[in-house]
Amino acid sequence: MQRRYHLHIPAIVYGIMVILVALAAMSGQNNLLFWIFGVMFAGLILSGMLSGMMMLGLTVRRLDPQHGAVGEPLLVQYEVRNTNRFLPAFNIHIEERRVAVKDGDSAARGWSDLMASPDAAGAWVMHIAPRDSAHGEAAYWPIARGEARFDRIRIWTTFPFGLIKKSITISQPQHTLIFPRLYELRPDVLRAASPPAALGHKTTSRPGVGDDYYGLREHRSGDSVRNIAWKRSAMLDQLVAVERSMPSPPRLRVILNLTTPTAQLRVGTPKAATKNAQLAAAREAEEQAISLAASLLHAAHHAGYEIGMTVLGFDMPAIAMRRSHWHLRRILSALAGINLDATRRPPIAGSVADAERAALIIVHPDRVDPSASRPDAVHFTSAQLSTLAVKPLGWSITTPQQDSQEAPPTEHRSLRAVAQSALRSRHAESARSTTRGGAA
């Protein structure tokens, strides 16, 4: 815990005024001015003492912010406790200190690198009673995916007179994940991308909560009256309940192909572009690919799919097929944690679950690479995001010009056409390359 007084502009101006009043009082030997000087000087002393005493009894704790998402406000709550017995605390500002973190092995970055207007974010608590606590809330606006690291929290006040700023800095290392930006995709994306066999609801050979008949069992306390098989119960002279089968929703696996290192991506930048610009464009393409994958999974989850995800290029196990809110969050966490600066690895054989009965979508950052995929897989590139997406979910920090550039094209092509276009490009690519891939 670090405590300190800050000299800031109002204090300097006030100090100059106090000196001027003292000089005027001395020059004119004016007792009213001497008294005014006394009041002003007393104000200076009291300001320092009171803010110091006030801050002495304060402790602050950051409540776990869980996770954030690009496009959604990240609300971080702080609990400020006033341990003073008699002295209330007023006008408490809470702010996060910047963290300079750039870890090569993880996606962790300082929170300020991931948020818009980091200097303007902060919480404010007007009053904390003695021996009481209050919760302040700061709103951050994430603009990039990743692991945001928080460390030091600073609380400060200029109460009572705004002259002396007293602060306490407390270290509380913590991190939170910022999920990639999600887009609202065109409604027929999933249906177009899924083979007909993968569509539609099916039942499984397990009891569950579906609608289809599975079997009969003895009635248990708590069973719904609706599930009682009345005829069978009458026959057996005991209550028998109908058991339903577990439904099997459509399944989708999204494979995010990040095997190609950023520097080797071909994102179609002009030849005249500098290397840094090319790298930036390539990195942007990778981020868009991640966003596209996340958006596909998000849309599939909301469409009732069981979803799974595989990320190629990193030591990241494939995420199995599930359908739940927590599962979606797990997938988004995995996408948030991708460190694009880490060394890329070639795909492990069999990592694309060929045998899995599920629709397969493979997302590439630059160009389609049909190797190691199933014949019925649908390939998307990051460049197609603008075509597939209707609008970003949440908010976006873009200029109007950018808005107009990134707006979906006016020509509304069918998704099947989009997919065919992707396949054509893949054929052309495979014809040019010597590598032989699976048929589209």
Partner 1 sequence: MRLLRSFPILCFTLVLLSIVGLCIAQNSVGMLLMAGALAAISWYVTEGPRGRSLPRWVSNVLVIAVSLNVVVELMQDHHDVLGVLSRFALWLTLIKLYERRSPRDHAHLLALSLLLMLTGALSSADLLFGIVLLAYAILGLYVLLLFQLYASYENAREERSRNMPAEYRLAPPAKPILGPQAGTHFRALTGAVAVSGMMLSVIIFAVFPRGIGEGMLKEVVPRKESMQQRAAFSPEINLMHGSRITESRRAVMSVQLLDHLDRPMRMANPLLLRGAALNHYDGRGRWRAGQNETRSLITLADKLLPLVEFDYASPTVIRQVFDPLFDSSVLFSAFTPIAVETGRDSELLLDRATHTITRVKWGGSGRGRAYTIYGEQEPSDDVLDMLAPTEALGIRGSPGNAAILNLARELLTNAGQPISPPGARRGSALHDDEAVWAWNATAARVFMNYLHSPAFRYTTDLSDVTLNPDRDPVEAFLLDIKRGHCEYFASAMALLCRHVRIPARVVTGYVAYEYDDVAQHYIVLESNAHAWVEVRTGRNRWTTFDPTPENILRDIHQPQAPSTARLRWLYDRFDGAWSRTIVGFDDAAQRQLAQRTWESTMTERVQGTIAAIADWIDRINHAFFFGPRGYVYMAIVGALLIVCVVIFIKILKRTRLIRSKLRLERVRGSDQQRLIRQLGFYLDMLTLLDRAKLPKPAWQPPINFAAQVASSGRPGASRAAQLMRELSSLFYEARYGGRPLTAEQVAESRTLLAQLAESLNLKP
Closer by beta carbon to partner 1, 139 or else 199: 139
Q: How far is CA 367 from the centre of its chain?
A: 26
Exactly one of 28, 304, 317, 350 binds partner 1 (CB under 8 A); that residue is 28
**Using an 8 Å Cβ cutoff, are 178 and 147 in contact?**
yes
CB of 184 to partner 1, least distance (A): 13
Question: How does strand 115-116 pair with strand 146-157?
Answer: unpaired
Closer by beta carbon to partner 1, 42 or else 263: 42
Which letter does DSSP use for residue 170 in this model?
E
Exactly one of 6, 100, 137, 172 binds partner 1 (CB under 8 A); that residue is 137
By CB under 8 A, residue 144 contacts partner 1: no
CB of 155 to partner 1, least distance (A): 13
By CB under 8 A, residue 159 contacts partner 1: yes
Stretch that binds partner 1, among 86-94, 206-214, 272-280, 428-436 (CB under 8 A): 86-94
Exactly one of 128, 267, 290, 321 binds partner 1 (CB under 8 A); that residue is 128
**Using an 8 Å Cβ cutoff, are 200 and 190 in contact?**
no
CB of 129 to partner 1, least distance (A): 4
CB of 128 to partner 1, least distance (A): 5
- Token output for 394: 């949440």
The phi and psi torsions of 329 (rounded to 5 degrees) equal: -65, -35
Alpha-carbon distance 148 to 362, whole Å? Answer: 28
By CB under 8 A, residue 26 contacts partner 1: yes
3-state secondary structure of 233: helix
By CB under 8 A, residue 273 contacts partner 1: no
Reading across the β-sheet that carries 306-312, which strands appear in turn? 319-322, 306-312, 251-257, 359-364, 378-381
**Using an 8 Å Cβ cutoff, are 250 and 200 in contact?**
yes
**Using an 8 Å Cβ cutoff, are 335 and 295 in contact?**
no
Closer by beta carbon to partner 1, 161 or else 214: 161
Closer by beta carbon to partner 1, 14 or else 305: 14
Closer by beta carbon to partner 1, 73 or else 208: 73
- Token output for 230: 């009345």
- Binding-site size for partner 1 (CB under 8 A) equals 60
Closer by beta carbon to partner 1, 26 or else 236: 26
By CB under 8 A, residue 42 contacts partner 1: yes
Exactly one of 1, 31, 270, 439 binds partner 1 (CB under 8 A); that residue is 31
Exactly one of 29, 276, 404, 434 binds partner 1 (CB under 8 A); that residue is 29
391 forms beta bridges with 184
Alpha-carbon distance 369 to 352, whole Å? Answer: 13
Exactly one of 4, 102, 204, 395 binds partner 1 (CB under 8 A); that residue is 395
Which letter does DSSP use for residue 72 in this model?
B
- Token output for 71: 């496009």
185 forms beta bridges with 389
- Residue 66: is it exposed, middle or buried by C-beta count within 10 angstroms (0-12/13-18/19+)? exposed
Exactly one of 114, 121, 309, 340 binds partner 1 (CB under 8 A); that residue is 121
By CB under 8 A, residue 160 contacts partner 1: yes
The site for partner 1 (CB under 8 A) is made up of 21, 23-39, 41-43, 45-46, 50, 73, 75, 82, 87-88, 90-91, 93, 116-117, 120-122, 124-130, 132, 134-137, 139, 141, 158-162, 394-397
